[in-house]
A and B are shown apart, each in its own frame.
Chain A
């Protein structure tokens, strides 16, 4: 769908198809997710007992912080048409490294720095295999998912390290001054601004979209496809390691199986936020709204004592619906008679389908 859209645009004049600016800004997938999130929040405040309580916001943001963090690089990775399934294992590995190094006498910041470097190395390995060796990211990151998790569990065995310096774990669970905003939102906000600039306001970001739409075309227009992919996987590794450090300090426990399964939550939130799994489409504000939406639904349903299985069913259905509804509606729209008469550009659309199929 998305690969088809720009082609006819090039052969028409801008005036022929450009919608008013407000429409292009507001009638989007991202707006839909944001409105839906706001609606669920308002509904929960009105109907879910204790949702408006003083602790909700703090716990909600603490719960979703690792997913918010990893969703940033994951969005860029998925927009290029790749995927990174190893993020949760990198979290686990950085968690274990932080624990092991701290136990051997290193201070928390020094151990955290080394854990971040390990995340960078993990990301670089992914990136190298995908971008320079040319292996498919799905296969590579399934492999490293097992590899990094295996190293993590192997390093720490069956034990957990729990004696972190109090002030650092307090930092992970603390809030900003008297507000209910957890401190972890500060590094997140900095990273979020960085990633928004990178994706939406830089040539690098334009390259990311181009790779997702057609990486060969991107290559011919001067985008360094390999380097871009390598950088994205490295970013993904580093940010995942950061999320792992936060996770460890928040729960005060470094364990090999920390954050198992988080990759699926991250990818679900990214897709729910309007990023196309086929690449080339998606924006960060939609993704962040997607993460918050899943967080709010889980939090509200927990307050209602709904079992986690029901929560998963609802989030899962929401995800499936968000992926298939636009396609179904697009298909339904194309069957309308008015649509048929609006296709004088017969030969051109033939060519489009042909190129889209390649």
Chain B
């Protein structure tokens, strides 16, 4: 009897699990019916694929992209992995190829690893625009560059040098160990530190990686300060890193003694600028970046431009932009935020 009972138990488990799984699928299906229908019509369908979801920087760029899409009349949806790794992005690029979207806007987690997947999407007639972090130039149609790497590296060194009075030990708190942008900037900062006589008394003692995770960046900041008691300043060229480092500093004995600068967003940094932990930091406007990428993607998908050097297109309020060599569109110079101007920004 006992054995006769056990088998039907398995079946009952199946039935319940099945209902459960279908409930999950069905619910999501209903919610997304509208957007799926939209892409079938005459509207442009654009997919936005940031490095990962839940990152305020990309939330802001997506806001900008959505506003631009609304103005153009395109249907834009954001998808993405939870961790910033290239293999996770490949699945989403594959999905875009399956859906036959008109354009894909992405921030690449690896310059090479995504190329095969992007090629497949492009052969399904998807226009590919990278923003924020580029792939190899031959993989994509256009790259919307937030600022030149030279400009960013120089700006961050300029800020930290001002804040520590031109001499002392500094360290870098970066994102993932193989993040394309951050590594390029760090390399340039290292070269600049070695070659520029203005920075002769500044020594870069350590580079640590917070993987763009709040807790890990927080812990790495703590470790940096313990391992380098003479540390004068920290550069964190990533929004997650600088916010976590500022949070650590503002509650610690190092507040006001160890300078912190880098790339951050005004909303995340406002508290720390106002309480004196952070003097000044730099960034571009990610909202403009997302919007520009969307205008560029739409111009490509509509056939207005082909991505050749010298092509020009209108980007709403942002004005007119020209495609530079290697299919790069430059947004502009990095901007310095400090106590005087931070109140003017809300992103």
Contact = CB atoms under 8 A, between A and B. Distances in A.
Interface of A: 5, 8-9, 17-19, 23-24, 27-29, 31-33, 35-36, 39-40, 43-44, 47-50, 53, 55-56, 59, 63, 153, 157-160, 162, 169, 173, 247, 250-253, 255-261, 297-310, 312, 314, 317-318, 321-322, 325-326, 329-330, 333, 339, 342
A302 B87 CA distance: 15
16 contacts: A28-B7, A28-B10, A31-B10, A35-B18, A63-B91, A160-B113, A253-B113, A258-B87, A260-B83, A297-B21, A301-B28, A308-B82, A308-B88, A329-B13, A333-B9, A339-B1
A322 B14 CA distance: 8
A247 B29 contact: no
Contacts of B178: 158-160, 255-257
A154 to B, nearest CB: 11
Interface stretch (B95-103, B241-249, B288-296): B95-103
A251 B98 CA distance: 18
A308 B18 CA distance: 21
B79 A257 contact: no
Given A19-B4, A297-B21, A306-B28, A162 B81 contact: no
Nearest to B211: A257
A160 B112 contact: yes
Contacts of B201: none
A261 B13 CA distance: 28
A59 B94 contact: yes
Contacts of A9: 3
B198 interface: no
A24 B88 CA distance: 40
A56 B98 CA distance: 7
A283 B267 CA distance: 53
B223 interface: no
Contacts of A173: 116
B10 A303 contact: no
Contact of B79 (A31, A55, A307, A342): A307
A342 B86 contact: no
B284 to A, nearest CB: 24
B20 to A, nearest CB: 6
B204 interface: no
Contact of A50 (B1, B81, B100): B100
A49 B36 contact: yes
Most buried by A among B53, B90, B116: B116
B176 interface: yes
Nearest to B54: A309
A258 to B, nearest CB: 7
A253 B11 CA distance: 44
Given A43-B25, A322-B13, A252 B7 contact: no
Contacts of A24: 7
B132 interface: no
Contacts of B87: 247, 251, 258-259
Interface of B is mostly: helix
Interface of B: 1-14, 16-18, 20-22, 24-25, 28-29, 32, 35-36, 47, 53, 77, 79-83, 85-88, 90-92, 94-95, 97-100, 110-113, 115-116, 120, 124, 176-178, 183, 209
B18 A49 contact: no
A24 B7 CA distance: 8
B24 A314 contact: yes
B197 to A, nearest CB: 28
Contacts of B20: 317-318, 321
Given A27-B11, A251-B113, A342-B1, A40 B17 contact: no
A306 B95 CA distance: 12
Nearest to B8: A27
B5 A339 contact: yes
B183 A321 contact: no
A303 B11 CA distance: 30
B205 to A, nearest CB: 17
B116 A169 contact: yes
Given A159-B178, A160-B112, A50 B98 contact: yes
A326 to B, nearest CB: 5
Given A36-B21, A40-B25, A59-B94, A27 B79 contact: no
